[in-house]
Amino acid sequence: MNTDLMTTIEAIQHQSVGSAILDILFQAVGRYGFDRFIISGLPDRGQDVRPFVLLSGWPDAWYDRYTALGYVHLDPVARHCFSTTLPFEWSRATYDPESDLPAKRVMDEAIDFGMNDGFCIPVHMEGGMQGVVSLVGDTRALTDHSRLELHMLSLYAHGRLRYLNTSQGDPHRRRAITAREAEVLKWAAGGKTAGEIAAITGLTERTVNAHCMNAQAKLGTKNRVHTVVEAIRHKLITL
């Protein structure tokens, strides 16, 4: 199979912050002839799109204008996402330029920003929520195969970003301690002193104490017993 696609997907999987995916995607979509992209949820009518944006690879000026003026609600490409599950070229998102002047304005202004053509991947989520990955660039060289690869790549990036977005600020994530800290706390839970733990693990006593202090700081606890209790309660260690 296409090793670039495989490598890109693995690289996306390994990122733990959304912004780290930006460069990976610029490079990946570049191979298919695209130079800009945006990944976003689509809000209900009248809602601000900004909280829904997962990752923007748009020019800042266009992003600011598009989001501030609520263009997502006028954009025929965004509208077309609701009516298909398959990816489509922007040109397939038809509108009547005579009667639908707002749509024409969005598309004309996009061209002013050098965004004439693009490829759009709708994302339908459970419960009817709608998302989109929109790639900016010339679509004429796309083959059936590259369309499928872009579909897969885009959905993968969307899924990963959605996960990172929802898990941020999760108290359980922030609580996480390292494997070594967990090991030290397990021995402490078994009644071992710092000296004994040092002898068992081959660490110095000072390092054992440092691990305990770090775990205490992460868990927001007051002393060693409190740290062990909280670690057990949150299932960070099992005895």
Which positions touch another protein (CB under 8 A)? 1-2, 5-6, 9-10, 13, 85-86, 123-129, 144-145, 148-149, 151-152, 155-156, 158-160, 162-163, 166-167, 170, 172
**HSE value, Cβ hemisphere, 13 Å, CA-based, for 217:** 8
Nearer to another protein, 115 or 164 (CB): 164
User: Minimum distance between the CB of residue 198 and another protein, rounded to whole angstroms?
Assistant: 27
User: Minimum distance between the CB of residue 176 and another protein, rounded to whole angstroms?
Assistant: 10
Nearer to another protein, 48 or 170 (CB): 170
Distance, CA of 11 to CA of 5 (rounded, Å): 10
Nearer to another protein, 74 or 230 (CB): 230
User: Minimum distance between the CB of residue 2 and another protein, rounded to whole angstroms?
Assistant: 6
Distance, CA of 59 to CA of 19 (rounded, Å): 15
Instruction: With both helix axes pointing from N to C terminus, report the angle between 101-112 and 60-68 in degrees, rounded to the nearest 10.
Output: 170
DSSP tag of 66: H
Nearer to another protein, 127 or 191 (CB): 127
Reading phi first (left if > 0) and then psi (alpha if -120 to 50, else beta), residue 202 is in left
Nearer to another protein, 86 or 141 (CB): 86
User: Minimum distance between the CB of residue 93 and another protein, rounded to whole angstroms?
Assistant: 20
Give me the residues paired with residue 137 across strands. Answer: 34
User: Minimum distance between the CB of residue 184 and another protein, rounded to whole angstroms?
Assistant: 19
Handedness of CA 92, 98, 99, 102 (dihedral sign): positive
